[in-house]
Structure 1
């Protein structure tokens, strides 16, 4: 197996795309961590909407730069800016480091005066799981919820108990169950994987904002998304689940795919509608 540095380099080489020409980027700091801030190049794009994005990568690889085209695609529908957090990665920084960084970033946005009704959250894979955990922890701390959240292929059951871990083994083009088990082991570092802050599928989700969950039918994490939608609905959370036939894990990363473009368009409009910014995406 490659060492962690090699895995990070390979992941970045596979998925990083050129920076969008219509989006400006700058390095900033949020919650004590580096972050990538995105703004639309149009001078009129000075609204109050804020998107907080958490990248994927199994808690071990990935960065805001790798997923910048996803963040940019969502931002095009909003009237404001996006901030993608460079949270600490395992195994150098095991649980709860990433979760702590994400909550600190969310808290700093609120403390800086961002209106929670103008704030939305999104993430992919492990980052989508962190988005759910962040909202749960914010709720438990008495902080206001964001207006909405989008979750791409969320990793929310680190116990790997979903039926798709077996039924999609050999169908998923990216992962075998052993791959996910290794990644999650780096992050959990011996902690109980069924704990709600590691596997929010098993948590109380009441009080969370409207959710849009997108997942591919060809991925091991299919049942994470399906069961999360059911858990959210049972806890009286407004939730929309979209399952894309024959699509892989975080298929939105493929910027040459019509399915990815359509999914990101729907996700952007979902956020814009909850913010009252739908005209920005038209």
Structure 2
């Protein structure tokens, strides 16, 4: 344990030194500027691609490969953490999933008195990787910057637990949070859902399913670079399918592990972009990254939500990569984009609370 901690600290220091170099040296190390579709790739993220071996080392083959990939995903989050939000108080426990309990972690930012808004957060990782550990730095940031409690949920992963296990756990955890809001220190009328990548998919589908079932609908959805249309081809999946971090081939592998039989013809929950009616969705913040294979499907969902009359804040961060919210410590552009999401969450829940108080005064 001590050796691992020292290694993490050493690698984190090496990253800080590398990305703290003067701009001309970083450009020399990263290579020529990359422009595609009138977008300029962020220099720090271009350098990160070149230095990828610092974050992802080759692991074992065979049965141990998946466990090693998951371990590396958790470790990579530690390496790229900003380390600025250690004063956020955390508490680990379990919440009900669809088939037994699942791990969860509650984040409470300092100075938060009384009940607050709550973000139920689902980590990314293609439904195959990720955990409350890998999401920890991002959840600390969101809690601190949005001024809300965050409940991070560790749902079951594929291929051991293929679709719809992750979604069923996500729905169960949200319903638990809504029912036990006061125990969690939250205002039951100010509960949002959010996630990144696969987790953003889950957040969107949870909100949609709650609306369809006439249950308690989340007040807001935060969806960072979501996966919305499993198995699609063309567009950004070709343009940015290689050389920009996550590849289209790897996305396909992940989707096949989560949906081994593809998206069911009678069940669009595995690909929310295919849902017939999105009009009952709550307001959504949806971000995409310019150099992300998932960019087009995320932006198509934002357009469909607008057409359905759903309030949407859609942001494309043109120079960024998929997973940018994990790189806030090494890329100023990624830092600003992630803070943008936290600001949107803070503003949305404040508006919901203000409108509620206004209605209460009018009815008094």
- By the TM > 0.5 criterion, same fold? yes
Contact 2:221 2:284 in 1 (8 A): yes
Matching residue of 2:92: 27
Cα drift, residue 47 of structure 1: 2.6
Matching residue of 2:110: 41
CA, structure 1 residues 131+176, in 2 after alignment: closer, same or farther (shift >3 Å)?
same
Rg (Cα) greater in structure: 2
| Greater displacement, 99-108 / 252-261 | 252-261
Cα drift, residue 222 of structure 1: 0.7
CA offset digits 1:24-83 (Å, max 9, x no partner)? 1111122231101111133x4433211100000000000122122221222124444110
Structure 1, unaligned stretches of length 5 or more?
none
Cα drift, residue 116 of structure 1: 4.5
Measure the CA separation in 1 of the matches of 2:191 and 2:308: 22
Matching residue of 1:99: 167
Contact 2:241 2:249 in 1 (8 A): no
Cα drift, residue 159 of structure 1: 1.6
Structure 2, unaligned stretches of length 5 or more?
1-59, 353-364
Measure the CA separation in 2 of the matches of 1:158 and 1:229: 16
Which protein, 1 or 2, shows the higher relative CO under an 8 Å CA cutoff with sep ≥ 6? 1
Contact 2:104 2:152 in 1 (8 A): yes
Cα drift, residue 263 of structure 1: 1.6
Matching residue of 2:7: none
Matching residue of 1:5: 67
Match of 1:252 among 312, 315, 325: 325
Cα drift, residue 162 of structure 1: 5.0
CA RMSD of aligned residues (A): 2.0
CA offset digits 1:93-149 (Å, max 9, x no partner)? 111100000000111112224545311111000000011111111112211211111
CA, structure 1 residues 59+142, in 2 after alignment: closer, same or farther (shift >3 Å)?
same
Greater helix share, 1 or 2?
A: 2
CA offset digits 1:192-250 (Å, max 9, x no partner)? 26641100011122111111111110110111211111111111111111111221002
Matching residue of 2:256: 185
Matching residue of 2:144: 76
Matches of residues 120-159 of structure 1 in structure 2 within 5 Å?
Answer: 120-159=192-231
Give the TM-score taking structure 1 as reference length: 0.91
